[in-house]
Structure 1
Amino acid sequence: MKLLPIADMLIILLYLGGMILVGIYFSRKNRNADQFTTASGKIPGWAIGMSLYATFLSSNTFLGVPGKAFGSNWNAFVFSLSMPLAAWVAARYFVPFYRNTGEVSAYSHLEKRFGPWARTYAVACFLLTQLARMGSIFFGIALSLQALTGYSMISIMIVVGVCIIIYTVLGGMEAVIWTEVAQGVIKTAGALIILYLVITQVSGGLPRILSMGAANNKFSLGSFSPDFTSSTFWVVLLYGFFINLNNFGMDQNYIQRYHTTKSTKEAARSIWLCVYLYVPISLVFFILGSCLYTYYQLHPDLLNEVRYQVAGERLPGGAPEAIARLADTLTAADIGDKIMPHFMVHQIPAGLLGLIIAAIMAAAMSTISSSMNASATIFLVDIYQRYLKPGVASRQSLRILYSATVAFGLLGMMTGIAMIGIKSVLDAWWLLSGIFASGMLGLFLLGIISHSTKGPEALTATVIGLLVVIWMTFPKFIPDPFASLRSPFHQHMIMVIGTLTIFLTGLLLTRRASGKQ
């Protein structure tokens, strides 16, 4: 294991210290819950757009996307291509809706439409989604830093997690947003620097990368056949549209930011700025993965070194012969998440490596901090004030926000630790987000589009939708004699079919109820 040089370690420590100082600086402004959750609505729209961009550009993108492109192709880039359509819907309909409600919670209106159960259900789905998001990002950052520093993944998660908790608790939403602006710049610079370094170290440069990538089908966006049982172009496009619609329209991380701007127009512009930044930069990460594929094909000794490393992690304490045999069977997809950390620790010069690691940490910290703040806000508004103490004083609300932020940070850390050993961080996040988010989005669309749908119809539709999600998520639980009853759809379709089931079933039940009256 190559240990991190002292110069790089100092850069990382300076970065972590700087984030804490930001939290301390903004802590002077947090005098009430409104300032902590929405920065009193005084943040400029461009800063919100950069903040949204930084939230999208998590360590899952920084590490999972190049690993995905290395192991397969550009099929996952279709997710980014779906963003403009989802952004158009959100900017035109969702942003004005939330701004007009004036409520910081994304889910309080569901109680007005369908009853307390709807609000509670959406809150539960959101909090589970945030734990999955924070866990996958904690895991991703620990996976890379373990290879780069030699420290254990658990130790890395604890150190990074404590730093995030400190500046998020101290600074509130304003600290989250302004640190994300800085982190967005650092992430983008880091990605471009790595891309340049890979291209310059490939013999033959970009032409060699293009020819080898084309010969191995590395630039494919997936099959265009109407097949929903595998990860085709259409499956990822549908998944991307629905999950981005959920992000922009139902995710408290984003809804909360709409209230931090001065006007609806600025909030809508922030969404488009996020899209304009994220789509081309996400393409950079796919190009990076293809470049790494060419580089390692031209250096088979290094490729075998990564295979042996992954095999050793899967057989801890195993005999060298057994590890070697397992290493020979590993495919590019099996080692994708390990490729970029390996390249960084062996090919990036000292000093510059510290900056790149800071960029990866920024990718993780921005998303985790926003998830912590949003989760704490939901706990205060939708749980504590709704069920435990409706008339809570402003100062006590602030203490609850502090405590909840710490609690969710620790829970996210524990989720990341529980994820140690998964094969692909990007696949894990996409699966979990699709499971938890489909119910929220279907119920939200039903409430905002069908004004005549009442609570009983919505509840029935939600139960049916949940059963469909369970059926698609756990096909192996169906015994072999009934194998024909297992879901034939790809796991990305859980989000799509779950959402449509709730929405369309609700419309059908509403129509039947209207016909009986």
Structure 2
Amino acid sequence: MQLPFLDLLIFFIYLSGILGFGISFYFKKRTSLEYITGKGRLPSWTLGMSIFATYVSSISFLALPGNAYQGNWNSFVFSLSIPIATVFALLFFVPLYRKLQSPSAYSYFEERFGLWARIYASVCYLLTQLARMGAILYLLALPMHVLLGWSIPVIIVATGFGVMVYAVAGGIEAVVWTDAVQGIVLIAGALLCFFVILSDLPQGLPQYLEEGSKQGKFSLGPYAWNWTESSFWMVLLYGLFINLQNFGVDQSYIQRYLGAKNTLEAQKSAAFGALLYIPVSLLFFMIGTGLFVFYQENAGSLPLEIAKEGDKVFPYFIVHSLPQGITGLLVAALFAAGMSTLSTSINSSATVILEDHVKKYVNPKITDKAAVKVLYLSSTLVGLISIGVALAFNGVESALDAWWALASIFSGGILGLFLLSFFNFSAPRGPAIFGVILGLMVISWISLCEFFPNIPLPRLHKNLAIILGTMAIVLSGFFAGLLMSTKSTQS
């Protein structure tokens, strides 16, 4: 289906405005540190909006309403873990990285365990970001294919190049300021959509609440623990570990800590961005439940093939049920969710390439002028590779499942290594390596066991990969270190 002219006009005005705004930062003279962190001159509210926009990708824009439409609010429990992780971030992580003042999140790993840990963690981060960007580009292209009528490869290439242009040209300042704009557009679009859904119901909010309650749509899932099901406690633990990983070892978050004027401003931005995600994610679940009630009321108006795939219901509603103009805004909001995540990943990946690889063993004496060129080139390279990964996803039966499996493995237990270093000050190098190997084995088993049905190993829920993998690294590394120190004392 082709969008009406007014909606296309709104969409392209938005797109052109974002590209122009992002590219405008190219004309500021900057050092490599300014390109990476903004040299501490970025307002805390924009950094907070950027953190929020990093949380919300096009995946969550489609998946959260889809989850609520097909099931209930079980996945919202992920958001309930954010305040706990935020407390850790404000008390420990932000002060730590502000004190280190290194543009790389992984210099801390080298300080604790040696260069191998820094290289390992940074390579894992790069692999994770490339897989993430590829998945987001591809999953963004699917609804845009329906909305715009363009081919999926064309949308992937056009989107990838568009984001790459301003992310490469403007550095972290372009990324953060465009993230702030896109976050506002995203929230405004989602709010408008929810109010339109309510206004289209004959009895409005009372009907929404009554029907949703009757169908169990507001349930947060079963409370009994189960190793194979997505219970309340499973999702809460998963969310806690993922959010600790975001705040503690994700390069894109650490760059925002350093972009603030001081530690207090960095803490404000981290708290604002993280806590803003909670009500906005709730809004997406409310939209999903609203879509369920709406199509219950308007039986037969939703094609069966769309109803079977929850992720497609929201785009279908945007095209077929929203007034002209608002449809264009929602398409722009969907695009904004993907663009903000992609631009962040491009910039943070380029930073890792420069700080953890070029400066460490390619050219340690690199001049600042040459370092800026490396940032431009590596940003471009990362953008091009992500387009290639997205094109490779085209035709995969379940890109989302493939991304989850890759993300679990590529993250490589970095959180476990970080926690081992953070809470165990005497952890030596050997036990840390042992812990990482054991953790990777656990993560690979949980993530890939479904592909090997003949191997007699217990099947666990995939959310347990980061939980058990992290615990395996921390506990095995700690006890191996304790055993080593005991033997050395006895001898």
TM-score (norm 2): 0.96
2:366 to 381, 385, 392: 392
Q: How many angstroms apart in 2 are the aligned matches of 1:78 and 1:425?
A: 24
- 1:28-427 equivalent positions in 2, closer than 5 A: 28-303=27-302, 305-307=303-305, 334-421=308-395
For 2:48, the aligned partner's letter is G
Which moves more between the two structures, 139-148 or 179-188? Answer: 139-148
Q: How many angstroms apart in 1 are the aligned matches of 2:478 and 2:185?
A: 46
Q: How many angstroms apart in 2 are the aligned matches of 1:493 and 1:474?
A: 12
- Cα deviations across residues 310-338 of structure 1 (Å, max 9, x unaligned)? 5xxxxxxxxxxxxxxxxxxxxx5x41111
For 1:503, the aligned partner's letter is V
> In 2, are the aligned partners of 1:60 and 1:425 still within 8 Å (CA)?
no
> In 1, are the aligned partners of 2:82 and 2:275 still within 8 Å (CA)?
no
Deviation at 1:423, TM superposition (A): 6.7
| Equivalent position of 1:511 in the other structure | 482
| Equivalent position of 1:464 in the other structure | 438
Deviation at 1:74, TM superposition (A): 0.6
1:266 to 1:365, Cα distance in 2 relative to 1, 3 A: same
* Secondary structure, counterpart of 2:221 in structure 1: coil
- Cα deviations across residues 180-215 of structure 1 (Å, max 9, x unaligned)? 111111110000011111122223322222222222
Q: How many angstroms apart in 2 are the aligned matches of 1:238 and 1:347?
A: 38
Q: How many angstroms apart in 2 are the aligned matches of 1:386 and 1:187?
A: 39
Q: How many angstroms apart in 1 are the aligned matches of 2:385 and 2:211?
A: 44
For 2:377, the aligned partner's letter is S
> In 2, are the aligned partners of 1:243 and 1:434 still within 8 Å (CA)?
no
Q: How many angstroms apart in 1 are the aligned matches of 2:474 and 2:435?
A: 7
| Equivalent position of 1:322 in the other structure | none
* Secondary structure, counterpart of 1:300 in structure 2: coil
- 1:494-509 equivalent positions in 2, closer than 5 A: 494-509=465-480
Deviation at 1:24, TM superposition (A): 2.7
> In 2, are the aligned partners of 1:64 and 1:424 still within 8 Å (CA)?
no
Deviation at 1:31, TM superposition (A): 2.7
Deviation at 1:73, TM superposition (A): 1.0
Q: How many angstroms apart in 1 are the aligned matches of 2:453 and 2:230?
A: 25
Aligned: 1:434 with 2:444: no
* Secondary structure, counterpart of 1:231 in structure 2: coil
Deviation at 1:431, TM superposition (A): 4.5
Deviation at 1:58, TM superposition (A): 1.6
Which moves more between the two structures, 499-508 or 44-53? Answer: 44-53
> In 1, are the aligned partners of 2:408 and 2:447 still within 8 Å (CA)?
no
Q: How many angstroms apart in 1 are the aligned matches of 2:179 and 2:451?
A: 42
Deviation at 1:129, TM superposition (A): 1.6
> In 2, are the aligned partners of 1:64 and 1:426 still within 8 Å (CA)?
no
Q: How many angstroms apart in 2 are the aligned matches of 1:13 and 1:391?
A: 44
Q: How many angstroms apart in 1 are the aligned matches of 2:15 and 2:186?
A: 15
Q: How many angstroms apart in 2 are the aligned matches of 1:104 and 1:66?
A: 36
Deviation at 1:478, TM superposition (A): 4.3
Q: CA RMSD in A?
A: 1.7
Deviation at 1:459, TM superposition (A): 0.4
For 1:504, the aligned partner's letter is L
> In 2, are the aligned partners of 1:30 and 1:171 still within 8 Å (CA)?
no
For 2:47, the aligned partner's letter is I
1:443 to 412, 417, 424: 417
Q: How many angstroms apart in 2 are the aligned matches of 1:351 and 1:479?
A: 50
For 1:392, the aligned partner's letter is I
Deviation at 1:47, TM superposition (A): 1.6
Q: How many angstroms apart in 2 are the aligned matches of 1:464 and 1:506?
A: 9
Deviation at 1:141, TM superposition (A): 1.8
Deviation at 1:421, TM superposition (A): 4.9
Identity %: 43
Which moves more between the two structures, 492-501 or 293-302? Answer: 293-302
For 1:499, the aligned partner's letter is T
* Secondary structure, counterpart of 1:259 in structure 2: helix
For 1:343, the aligned partner's letter is F
1:139 to 1:114, Cα distance in 2 relative to 1, 3 A: same
Deviation at 1:497, TM superposition (A): 0.5
For 1:105, the aligned partner's letter is S
- Cα deviations across residues 96-139 of structure 1 (Å, max 9, x unaligned)? 11111110100012112112221111112111221222122212
Q: How many angstroms apart in 2 are the aligned matches of 1:46 and 1:417?
A: 35
> In 2, are the aligned partners of 1:23 and 1:168 still within 8 Å (CA)?
yes
1:404 to 1:41, Cα distance in 2 relative to 1, 3 A: same
Q: How many angstroms apart in 2 are the aligned matches of 1:60 and 1:230?
A: 22
1:381 to 1:214, Cα distance in 2 relative to 1, 3 A: same
> In 2, are the aligned partners of 1:469 and 1:498 still within 8 Å (CA)?
yes
Which moves more between the two structures, 235-244 or 430-439? Answer: 430-439
> In 1, are the aligned partners of 2:408 and 2:443 still within 8 Å (CA)?
no
Deviation at 1:438, TM superposition (A): 5.3
In structure 2, the gaps of 5 or more residues are none
For 2:185, the aligned partner's letter is I
- Cα deviations across residues 354-373 of structure 1 (Å, max 9, x unaligned)? 11111111111111101100
Q: How many angstroms apart in 2 are the aligned matches of 1:59 and 1:151?
A: 18
For 2:459, the aligned partner's letter is P
Deviation at 1:477, TM superposition (A): 5.0
Deviation at 1:228, TM superposition (A): 2.0
Q: How many angstroms apart in 2 are the aligned matches of 1:476 and 1:288?
A: 32
Q: How many angstroms apart in 2 are the aligned matches of 1:67 and 1:372?
A: 28
